[in-house]
Structures are given as C-alpha cells and as structure tokens.
Amino acid sequence: MNRASRHAWSALLVTLFAGFMDALDLSITAVANPAMQRDLHAGYNEAQWFVAAYALAFAVMLIPGGRLGDIYGRRRILLTGVAGFTLASAACALAPSPLALIAARLVQGGFGALMVPQVLAAVQLLFPAERRGPALAAYGTVMNLAQITGPVLGGFLTTDNVLGLGWRAVFLINLPVGLLVLAGTALLLPESRSDRPLQLDMPGALLAGLFSGLVVYPLQQGRADGWPPWLLAALVAALPVGYVFVRQQRRRAPERALVPVGLFRNRAFCAGMVQLLLVYSAILAQQMPVIWHTQTGLGWSALRTGTATVGWVLGLCVLGVPAVALAPRAGRALQVAGCLVVVSGTLLLSEVIGHHALGFWSLFGCLTVIGCGLGLVVPTLISMVLAGVPGRDAGGAAGLANAAIYFAAAAGVGLIGMVFFGRVADTGVAAGGPAQVRVFSQAAAYSLYYPAAAFLAVPLLAPFLPRGTASGGSGGRHRGRHARRGRHSRRYTVESSTAGSSAPR
C-alpha cells in the first residue's frame, strides 16, 4: 500500500467514526429511554420526543445538509456538523429537564444531518471508482457494527451506572469520539465542493420543515393534549403545504431545487417511497413497545432488554449479505418473502406477549425471526427504490429517500406511542404490581398489529418496482431484456446508514 493509499484509508477511518456516532444514536438512546423518563420525571409523551426529536430534525436538515457541503465545502460542513453534534451531545447529557433534553436532541439531529452526507461524499472524494468497493464495504460494516453494539452498549451504560452517570453516559460517549473526528478531519481530509454553481433553496427547505412538523407534531402530541381542534387542523394543513412545496420545487431551476420533482412522475419511485415510509415507520414501531413493556412493565434492566434485541440485528445481518448478492436478479421476490417473514415473527411476538409468556429467550427468538425477514428487505430496499431513477437524478433521489426514512421513524414513534399509551390510559393501571404487567402486556401486544399491517402492505406495491436492483437508468416503465437482467446497465445504488440497520438510517 503506497503513501497516498494509506492517507486515503486513514482519512476514511476518521470520517467513518462520524457516521458511527450517528448510526449508534437511535439504537443506544431507545434502550435508555425508560431510564431517561424516570430520572427526569417525564411523561410518556415527553419520552416519545426523546427519540422522535432527533429523527425529525435529521429528516428536515438532511437534504439541505448535503447541498451545503456541495456549496461551501464538504470538509468545512463535516467539521461544523461534528462540532455541533458533539456539543449537542454534551447538552443532552447535562439536560436538567425533559424540555431541555428534547431541545438538545433537536439540535443534535440537525447537526447530525450536516455530518452524515459528507461521510459518503468522502468515499467518493478519497477513492477512484475502481477502488471504491472496499471503502463502501468498510462503510457498511461500520454502520452494522453500530447497530449491533448500540442496544448492548446503551443497556450496559444505563444499567451499570458507569461513573455514576446512568443514562447520561450514552450521550457523553460521543465527546471523545467527536473530538477525535474533529482532529482527524482537520488533519487528513482534503477540502472539496461542487464544480457547478449551486444555491441553497431556503424557501424549499422551510416548506419541507413545515410539512414535517405539521405531520409529526400532532402524532406525537395529539393523545396527550386530547386532540384539540388546532392539532387536527395542523394535520390537515400538511396536505396543502406539501402541494405548495412540490409546486415551488417545479418552478426552481435544477441547480437550485432541493429535489428533482420529475421523480414524482416516476411511478416506480413513488411506489418505492411509500414502501420506505411503511417499512421505517414500522421498524421503530416494533422496537418501542418491546422496550416500554420489558423495562416499565416487566421491570427488566436496560442491559437485559438491549441484549435480547441483539437477536433482531443478528437475524438481519445473517440474511442481509446473501440478499444483497441476489437482489440484482430477485430483489422483488426477496422483498415479498422478507415482509411475510417479518409479519409472521411480529404476530408471533404479539401472541407471546399477550399470553404473558415473554422471557429473555422467547423475545430473542421472535426478534431473530423478525430480523431474518428484515435482512431480506432492508439492505436492498433503497437500491430497489432507486433502480429506475435516471442517473442525473440519482443523488437527489437518494437524499429524498434517506430523508423519508428519518421522517418515517419520527412519525412511527408518534403513531405507536399514541396506540400504546392510549391503550394503557384506557385500561388504567396501578403503580407497579401484576396490574401494571397485565396492562403493559396487552398494550404491547395490541401495538404490534401496526407494524404487522405495515409490512403486510409493502408487497402490494412490489409489482410497481423493478424486479431487481440493476437498471438501465432510463427511469421509464419499459426496459429491455439486458437492462432487466442488469447487463450493459449502470447501477445507481446508494449505500445508506439505514441499510441493514434498525434505525432510520
């Protein structure tokens, strides 16, 4: 390995730590969520915001974050994102109240969205196309490692009360990593920016943020506030705001638009986006009822819960690798089969919880089945969505798909919290004892019907997508035999930190 190659790999390693911090965040904080709620004397609704605030801010800022790197320099924006993310992590750890933690999580998610697009840009910058495969493989490995270690690490730090910090340690762990990334990026990563004159579409970004808030805020806050008329009106108002955003983007010149609006005339892309929304809203909707039930209802430690959820990631990783290899030829078939396995595992878990038969190994086993199904769906889903997108729109489509993933995660937390805690409130529960176990069991079992229904709906949209992840890049409905088989075609696939992960990454 020559000196230039060693320098490229050193720079990549540093930037991968930035991606690792973000990929770790949702999984590590989800496991610690009940401990945060207890320590800060937060209500159930506020506890939902501890997770959703990060995902919402990330979704709103992701596409502008990528464009800012193109305009002002990817190294500069990466340094800004890492510095802000690290400081916001410290603010999360020091939060004295639920509101302070929610505010810090919003800031953390916004800076995370500045940081993450530059990580993949670094791969493009540091390695020529013929040497990019190992670098992308390293990226995927690091992201999967973050998802595997997140639940266990979060459980360990919270349960063992390391240095007397409790749940605050899950945020403080970002400080030394962030400082290392800042120093390494400043020393090793060269500056780069787009060679085309670009502008940031601030009105478009504001409209996208308004639309996201009008959807997610009512879902998070509606149950706690008793669904006042103004919250219902906000939810309805999201439709015209979304329409205005699309019209505004159509009037923008391509170099100024946030997203290529021509994508919305692509039937395959639209169907794929609906699939992304369903899948990633359902992923956290599977996790959160289990975490709330095991820790609050059954009194499990965060470490025990986090260790049991490793089965989920284990199943995903085992089948994820062969799924990626088979996806160019059989992506649609794998998607259908994987969704049916997820539905079966989710309904089995619901039955086990509903019959008060949940133990460590039964939870581990059910989550392993679910993870195996996800292994057939998640690692290739974005590539399936992008398979029919023209090459000129691939970057914008990938950014929109990744933003949709985090938006779905935030909406999914609100939706499942509304179902779960609405069920708890309707049933009534005494503090502790068998009554609490029974009520939380019923609420968790009932809540799992939503992710089962969401994954059951995904195969209905599969016929609108290409058969595999290879595409001729035309974006049209009719492609030749060679394009369908992936020969003589260009593949527009984007690896994201969500691929093969539990978080909306």
User: Same domain, yes or no, for 475 and 357?
Assistant: yes
User: Same domain, yes or no, for 425 and 490?
Assistant: yes
Q: What is the mean pLDDT of residues 417-446?
A: 76
> Is 2 a residue whose pLDDT tops 80?
no
Q: What is the mean pLDDT of residues 114-134?
A: 77
User: Same domain, yes or no, for 498 and 369?
Assistant: yes
> Is 471 a residue whose pLDDT tops 70?
no
User: Same domain, yes or no, for 137 and 235?
Assistant: no
Residues 469 and 387 sit within 8 Å (Cβ to Cβ): yes
Residue 480's region, left for phi above 0, alpha for psi from -120 to 50, else beta, is beta
> Is 478 a residue whose pLDDT tops 50?
no
Whole-angstrom distance, CA of residue 81 vs CA of residue 88: 10
Mean pLDDT of the chain: 81
pLDDT the model gives residue 490? 31
User: Same domain, yes or no, for 346 and 219?
Assistant: no
pLDDT in tens, 4-32: 577 788 888 888 888 888 888 877 888 88
Whole-angstrom distance, CA of residue 243 vs CA of residue 237: 10
Single out the residue in 148, 164, 188 at which a domain terminates.
188
Q: Does 23 reside within a domain?
A: yes
Whole-angstrom distance, CA of residue 500 vs CA of residue 407: 18
- Kindly write down the DSSP assignment for every residue of 189-254, as one continuous string: PPP---SS-----HHHHHHHHHHHHHHHHHHHHHHHHT--HHHHHHHHHHHHHHHHHHHHHHHS-T
User: Same domain, yes or no, for 315 and 429?
Assistant: yes
User: Same domain, yes or no, for 304 and 432?
Assistant: yes
Q: Does 196 reside within a domain?
A: no
Q: What is the mean pLDDT of residues 41-56?
A: 88
Q: What is the mean pLDDT of residues 156-174?
A: 86
Q: Does 4 reside within a domain?
A: yes
Domain span holding position 377: 263-505
User: Same domain, yes or no, for 163 and 207?
Assistant: no
Q: Does 84 reside within a domain?
A: yes
> Is 391 a residue whose pLDDT tops 70?
no
Whole-angstrom distance, CA of residue 178 vs CA of residue 274: 35
Instruction: Domain count for the chain, please give it.
Output: 3
Q: Does 267 reside within a domain?
A: yes
User: Same domain, yes or no, for 181 and 163?
Assistant: yes
User: Same domain, yes or no, for 226 and 285?
Assistant: no
User: Same domain, yes or no, for 368 and 466?
Assistant: yes
Q: Does 195 reside within a domain?
A: no
Q: Does 194 reside within a domain?
A: no
Q: Does 403 reside within a domain?
A: yes
Q: Specify which of 48-52, 67-71, 466-470, 481-485 reaches the highest per-range mean pLDDT.
A: 48-52
Single out the residue in 158, 188, 218 at which a domain terminates.
188
**CATH code of residue 135:** 1.20.1250.20
User: Same domain, yes or no, for 216 and 171?
Assistant: no
Residues 151 and 27 sit within 8 Å (Cβ to Cβ): yes
pLDDT in tens, 298-357: 889 988 998 998 888 888 888 877 887 887 888 888 889 999 999 999 999 999 998 888
At residue 213 the predicted structure's pLDDT band, cuts being 50, 70 and 90, is confident
At residue 480 the predicted structure's pLDDT band, cuts being 50, 70 and 90, is very low
The helix/strand/coil state of 41 is: coil
